[in-house]
Amino acid sequence: MHSSFVRGEGSSGPERRGRSPVPLEMRLDNLRVSVENDESPDHRVAHAATLELLKRADRIGTGQYTEGWELFVDAATDLVGEDRWAIQVAVMANMVGIVDLGDADDFVTAARLIKRYGHRKVALVQGTVDRLLGNGPALPLATRTVQVVADRDRVSGIVRTAGWNEEKAVEVADRCYQMGFWLVLTDVDPNRPGPILRTPEEVARVWDHGGIQAWRGQVAIIASNPWAPYGSELKELALAADRPFPVYALEEAVRVYRSRFERRERELVAREIRRLVAISGLSQREFASMAGTSASRLSTYVNGLVTPSATMMVRIRRVTEYVQNRRPDDKKR
């Protein structure tokens, strides 16, 4: 699995900070004081997430990402008092906790952040964390976070073992999985697709070692044309490669991008109808009457709430053409 953590160079990320002469424990304690002294009710959930990590500072050096504590406290201290600092520090703390410790508390905290701020907002912040920490362009912390939360059975098992009931454990695991899904979709660029994968071995290699940037490249292929068969083909390859974790994400990505395409298409149709009504010179009520529909129904077309059938779209065009063709005759009279 891709679990190494690399440092940025040049424009890929901030230069590595020099190690502070102040002991780590003291810096963490100073951060804790800053968080506890912020009494804004809007920051309550975010600060609870940060404090959840800080209260386990005695376990520094026992996890998978020891360096993360040093990077976290320096980056978090720089953010204190800045705009949106509470959620940025909270999400950063939660990601360090998930990757370094992976306790039930980390997953429950992630679920609470998602419930408070929504998947997409949390994912947008998560997408900036590697940069804030100064990690390299491979986004290793984001990559590892996705790999951890992708295993829903493991996450729900950890939460159950900590004393939560089955229903709560499944809910937490599902929210964490969705968190990882939206983190991958953040910054997907349809104009920058990855290579087409044709074998189970290629899929296994990309999932195990490619990292989040490579995964986004695969989603970009789907995003460019979600009705193409590649999404289904990739899902079958993932199953053949015994990599079940990406399968649901691929199905969900297809649904997301089809929905986005359909929404844009509805907007284009509505814009065209507005144009046709406007150039006809008729009121919407007059236009609706000539098109054989009601004014209220036409209003749903104009506002993009309902997409007309192909037959109705032809009729709308014909009304505009009919009115325009009659205008020269009207002028001659």
120 and 5 share one domain: yes
**223 within 8 A of 190, measured Cβ to Cβ:** yes
Question: Would the pLDDT of 143 be above 90?
Answer: yes
Residues 145, 37 share a domain: yes
Neighbours of 17 (CB within 10 A): 13
- Domain assignment present for 271: yes
On whether both 306 and 205 belong to a single domain, the answer is no
Please give the backbone phi and psi of residue 29, each rounded to the nearest 5 degrees, phi first.
-65, -40
Question: At 313, which CATH number?
Answer: 1.10.260
Q: Is residue 119 part of a domain?
A: yes
| 159-187 per-residue burial string, b: 16 or more CB within 10 A, e: under 16 | bbeeebeeeebbbbbebbbbbbbbbbbbe
118 and 162 in a single domain? The answer is yes
**In the structure, what pLDDT confidence band is assigned to residue 1 with cuts at 50, 70 and 90?**
very low
How many CB atoms neighbour CB 260 within 10 A?
12
Total count of domains within the chain: 3
**Mean local confidence (pLDDT), 85-106:** 97
For residue range 283-313, what is the model confidence (pLDDT) as tens digits? 999 999 999 999 999 999 999 999 999 999 9
**Judgement on whether residues 87 and 145 belong to the same structural domain of the protein:** yes
* Predicted pLDDT of residue 17: 54
CA dist 160 → 56, 100, 145, 163 (Å) = 20, 20, 20, 5
> Do 134 and 227 fall within a single domain?
no
How sure is the predictor about 20, in pLDDT bands with cuts at 50, 70 and 90? confident
Per-residue confidence (pLDDT) for residue 144, from 0 to 100: 96
- What token pair was written down for 149? 């939360």
What's the pLDDT band for 273 if we cut at 50, 70, 90?
very high
138 inside domain: yes
| CB-CB contact of 244 with 173 (8 Å) | no
Q: What is the pLDDT of residue 157?
A: 98
Residue 330 or 158, more confident: 158
Confidence check: pLDDT of 21 > 90: no
Whether residues 41 and 164 fall in one domain: yes
Q: What percent of the chain has pLDDT over 90?
A: 87
18 found inside a domain = yes
What integer pLDDT is reported at residue 246 of this predicted model? 87
Q: 144 in a domain, yes or no? A: yes
The predicted model gives 126-150 an average pLDDT of 94
Give the pLDDT of residue 245: 85
pTM over 0.85: no
Range of the domain at 318: 260-332
Bigger pLDDT: 18 or 258?
258
For position 331, what pLDDT does the model report?
47
- Domain shared by 265 and 311, yes or no: yes
Residue 5 is assigned to a structural domain of this protein = yes
Check whether residue 14 and residue 79 sit in a common domain: yes
Q: Which residues pair with 135 in a beta bridge?
A: 7
85 vs 92: CA distance, rounded Å: 10
Q: How far apart are the first and last CA of the chain?
A: 81
Taking only the tens place, the pLDDT of each residue in 42-85 is 999 999 999 999 999 999 999 999 999 999 999 999 999 999 99
pLDDT of residue 4: 52
Confidence of residue 328 (pLDDT cuts 50, 70, 90): low
55 shares a domain with 178: yes
Asked if residue 2 has pLDDT above 50, the reply is no
Region 231-250 average pLDDT? 93
Segment 257-275 shows an average pLDDT of: 94
Tell me the per-residue pLDDT of 241-255, one tens digit each, with 9 for 90 and over.
999 888 889 999 999
Q: Are residues 74 and 218 in the same domain?
A: no
What is the reported pLDDT for 13? 40
Asked whether residue 169 is assigned to any structural domain, the reply reads: yes
* 204 neighbors 179 (Cβ within 8 angstroms): no
Q: Are residues 55 and 129 in the same domain?
A: yes
- Do the domain assignments include residue 250? no
Is the pLDDT assigned to residue 229 strictly greater than 60?
yes
